[in-house]
Amino acid sequence: MYELIQASERSYYIQSPAKIGLVQLSETDVCLIDSGSDKDAGRKVRQILDAHGWRLAAIYNTHSNADHIGGNRYLQNQTGCKIFAPGVECDFTRHPILEPSFLYGGCPCKDLRHKFLLAQESGAEELTAESLPEGFEMIPLPGHFFDMAGYRTPDGVVYLADCLSSRETLDKYQIGFLYDAAAYLDTLEKVKAMEARLFVPAHAEAAEDVSALAQYNIDKVLEIADKIAALCREPRGFEEILQRLFQDYGLAMNFEQYVLVGSTIRSYLSWMRDGGRLEALFEDSRLLWRTV
């Protein structure tokens, strides 16, 4: 773990729970794509930098989930590097309490205020075209989170953030976190058509072709939607839908899974209602969902 792997002439990634990109900007300067899950991850990245005599110029965050920005503060304090994040992700990176608050839908209890959902604050600036290194391209990848983005380097490596889950992860956990199902499906279709020297997803193996994996992720989204539609042939409330999905997929409930999967299922319900597949009913002071 935390092994530096070369992807092309100047592009690398650090093997970690959420892969960290590293790109040489010059003989001495590098930038990171994300920073890992916490201070310890930041320390391990710093050791790699020091071992190669590299200076960290900037961190380009793909999105603001804690496992991607957790090393920001340590690395910024140690190196003085700049941090950039796209759109709304910049606000969440500056104010990470927004992540557990958004997931829970209110003030998060202490069970949700831990490093897996709540990173330390860091001084992020909003990503602009001018803030990108020469030859870099920012690729909008919305769906998993608000304004998630990937990056294409001048030597043809594409860092895909969290838009793809591995087959093993999907087979084990079944319901991958997403914010906007419609945008996520559009992103996956775009990724299917992309070409690159190498694709580096944060939570799947690096590969020259990810089209089959993108389709596997699409199929899983459609499978979950079909399962929700089947459950809602009779009007059901959110909690019952969530319970049945956990039972059907054999998932274990805890605070973290409740908010991550729960937020995702609420997004499915919104998408399916907006698409005319579900209708919302208010009966006996309850919001119920029914298949149309």
pLDDT tens digits, one per residue of 96-114:
999 999 999 999 999 999 9
Residue 231 confidence class, pLDDT cut points 50, 70, 90 = very high
CATH-assigned architecture of domain 232-291: Orthogonal Bundle (1.10)
Task: Please tell me the distance from the alpha carbon of residue 124 to that of residue 89, in angstroms, as a whole number.
Answer: 9
Residues listed for the chain = 292
Task: Please tell me the distance from the alpha carbon of residue 251 to that of residue 232, in angstroms, as a whole number.
Answer: 20
Q: Please compute the mean of the pLDDT values over residues 15-42 and round it to a whole number.
A: 98
Q: What angle do CA 17, 71, 96 make, to 5 degrees?
A: 100
Residue type for 289, please?
A: W
Residue 192 confidence class, pLDDT cut points 50, 70, 90 = very high
Contact 82, 59 (CB under 8 A): yes
Q: What angle do CA 255, 271, 163 make, to 5 degrees?
A: 65
- Give the model's pLDDT for residue 292: 98
CB-neighbour burial class of residue 277 (10 A; exposed 0-12, middle 13-18, buried 19+)? middle
- Give the model's pLDDT for residue 288: 98
pTM across the whole model: 0.97
Q: Please compute the mean of the pLDDT values over residues 83-101 and round it to a whole number.
A: 98
Secondary structure of residue 256 in the 3-state scheme: helix
- Give the model's pLDDT for residue 182: 98
Residue 194 confidence class, pLDDT cut points 50, 70, 90 = very high
Residue 180 confidence class, pLDDT cut points 50, 70, 90 = very high
**Paired tokens of 109:** 């209890």
Average of per-residue pLDDT values in the chain: 98
Q: Where are the domains of the chain?
A: 3-221, 232-291
Q: Please compute the mean of the pLDDT values over residues 199-206 and round it to a whole number.
A: 98
- Give the model's pLDDT for residue 181: 98
Provide the strand spans (E) within the chain: 3-6, 11-15, 20-24, 29-33, 55-60, 82-85, 124-126, 137-140, 149-152, 157-165, 198-203, 236-237, 278-283, 286-291
Task: Please tell me the distance from the alpha carbon of residue 242 to that of residue 262, in angstroms, as a whole number.
Answer: 7
Which residues contact residue 194 at a Cβ distance below 8 angstroms, ignoring those fewer than 6 apart? 158, 210
**Paired tokens of 216:** 């596997």
Q: Please compute the mean of the pLDDT values over residues 32-41 and round it to a whole number.
A: 98
Q: Please compute the mean of the pLDDT values over residues 126-139 and round it to a whole number.
A: 97
Q: Please compute the mean of the pLDDT values over residues 129-142 and round it to a whole number.
A: 97
Residue type for 241, please?
A: I
Strands 124-126 and 137-140: unpaired
- Give the model's pLDDT for residue 187: 98
CATH T-level fold of 3-221: Metallo-beta-lactamase; Chain A (3.60.15)
